[in-house]
Structure 1
């Protein structure tokens, strides 16, 4: 398992790394062609904001909407939700290439690329797959079967057939597999896995996290889950085992400010999300206490202020769950 995790770390930092193709942050890539491509895209987006006469290229909101659509499709069809994370990896890496330029400029082409990425991810990851005709149907007839199959070839060629990215969820699995069997009941491990999974699924919809390594997101999601589990739910010896595993295999400083910021971002995403389907989780979380030893010990916050802050987030989270929206059906067209 340790060697597998090491390979996954190499992959996520190498051929499967995602880059900021929208240029929302300062681009420091050594790839001069990529820098020029991003700078050109930034100018195009700025020009489009001047007036309606210029067609607007895609933005992070387009990606967010289509990633939500992907979750709706896999939920409706009963496919593994991890397929969406894999599809987003295809999408993000494709859009960072020259071949993705048309998808950046045309929102309709972008939709086609997202749908094809999901179609390909499901085909690669599931025993059953979607047919091109089904994708055509759920697009409302916007695209033909040939559109799907031709776009798939373009995407796979641009990605050089690298179609098995290490996902945040796969890192969570591997980290939890390292917990000795005697140290935790299956119920506790399943609880940690489910709450961590919820966080990484939401992270897959957030463009601002595409350059964050999947392993780092996995570590943050597990730490957040541990924070909401009191001593009765997560005994001290098991907590120590988990911390040791994350310190040894997470390839990140779990006590650093970057990790602290990421943990907060993941929890904020949960608290602010009202449409994610998380039935059954709220009831189990209500019985836990949301705390953060990291904030208490290293940020100079009093125990009361820590509890107040995280209980506020927790209350928003439970409220968002209880008021979750019904899954929207159909294909959403946006201009």
Structure 2
């Protein structure tokens, strides 16, 4: 078994094809109106990042939380709320998105009370549950988005020894790519870039100098994802990922 749900490379490829279709249902339009909103988004997601890190949750959960929050703010209800809400309400949205993402992705859940503590008691437990219901309705209850991390994991499952100069380096490559995948949510300009594109960009960055040796692998994955791995868009995405820092 090379992934929890895949027993061979054919299963991996089939799963990736399904993820490419599924990601279309989670597309988010670019909703940020100015640099102030973009800065606030980054600040809030960094807070979520550190909360997850402190609690030893996976960073992939940050991607799910960001998707929930971004799609909510891109909705009519979210746009209306953002236009008249103060910073505490905006924080409530982000903390609620994180709360929901943890329930979806982690083996252990947290309570609304814990979310209240994370936010410095700025809002009540009832406000957390009420906001969750409001957000879920606005995004059509879609909370299982294919993450960049998931694309990275599937891409790496296809990276067999024949494509590597030193096969033992694969673990390091996957660690680097997975970390870049999680941090990709911090760059607002990647908000409406498909996770499949960002995932392959992270893999290419992780391969570093070995990317030329693995050119056939990169091309094969690009064909599978139906994207051009050597395009200008890919190069721009790689550059943005390299600048993402927590």
TM-score bin, normalised by smaller chain: 0.7 to 0.9
SS of the aligned residue for 2:31 comes to: coil
Counting only pairs closer than 5 Å after superposition, residues 298-313 of structure 1 correspond to structure 2 as: none
Instruction: With the length of structure 2 as denominator, give the TM-score of the two structures.
Output: 0.87
In structure 2, the CA distance between the partners of 1:252 and 1:222, relative to structure 1 (3 Å rule), is same
Aligned to 1:135: 115
CA contact (8 A) 1:11 1:17 kept: no
Question: 2:84 aligned with 1:74, yes or no?
Answer: no
Q: Deviation per CA, 1:98-131: give whole Å up to 9, x if none.
A: 1102134323211101000000000111110111
Aligned to 2:84: 105
Question: 2:172 aligned with 1:191, yes or no?
Answer: yes
- Counterpart CA distance in 1 for 2:239 and 2:162 is 31
How many Å apart are 1:240 and its aligned residue? Answer: 3.8
CA contact (8 A) 1:132 1:149 kept: yes
SS of the aligned residue for 1:59 comes to: helix
CA contact (8 A) 2:163 2:217 kept: no
In structure 2, the CA distance between the partners of 1:182 and 1:62, relative to structure 1 (3 Å rule), is same
246, 249, 266: which one pairs with 2:224? Answer: 249
Question: 2:142 aligned with 1:162, yes or no?
Answer: yes
- Counterpart CA distance in 2 for 1:110 and 1:161 is 20
Instruction: With the length of structure 1 as denominator, give the TM-score of the two structures.
Output: 0.65
Aligned residue pair count = 232
SS of the aligned residue for 2:242 comes to: helix
In structure 2, the CA distance between the partners of 1:104 and 1:3, relative to structure 1 (3 Å rule), is farther
- Counterpart CA distance in 1 for 2:226 and 2:93 is 32
Q: Deviation per CA, 1:29-71: give whole Å up to 9, x if none.
A: xxxxxxxxxxxxxxxx9xxxxxxxxxxxx60011000100001
- Counterpart CA distance in 2 for 1:92 and 1:73 is 19
Aligned to 2:13: 2
- Counterpart CA distance in 2 for 1:245 and 1:215 is 14
CA contact (8 A) 1:11 1:165 kept: yes
Note the aligned Cα RMSD (angstroms).
2.1
- Counterpart CA distance in 1 for 2:220 and 2:111 is 41
57, 79, 85: which one pairs with 2:63? Answer: 85
Between 1 and 2, higher relative CO (CA 8 Å, sep ≥ 6) is seen in 2
Gaps (5+ residues) in structure 2? 1-11
Gaps (5+ residues) in structure 1? 25-44, 46-57, 277-335
- Counterpart CA distance in 2 for 1:105 and 1:129 is 31
- Counterpart CA distance in 2 for 1:222 and 1:142 is 40
- Counterpart CA distance in 2 for 1:81 and 1:195 is 13
90, 101, 115: which one pairs with 2:95? Answer: 115
Aligned to 2:32: 22
Which structure has the larger Rg over C-alpha atoms?
1
SS of the aligned residue for 1:204 comes to: helix
In structure 2, the CA distance between the partners of 1:186 and 1:79, relative to structure 1 (3 Å rule), is farther
- Counterpart CA distance in 2 for 1:186 and 1:124 is 34
How many Å apart are 1:183 and its aligned residue? Answer: 5.7
1 or 2, which has the higher helix percentage?
2
How many Å apart are 1:265 and its aligned residue? Answer: 1.6
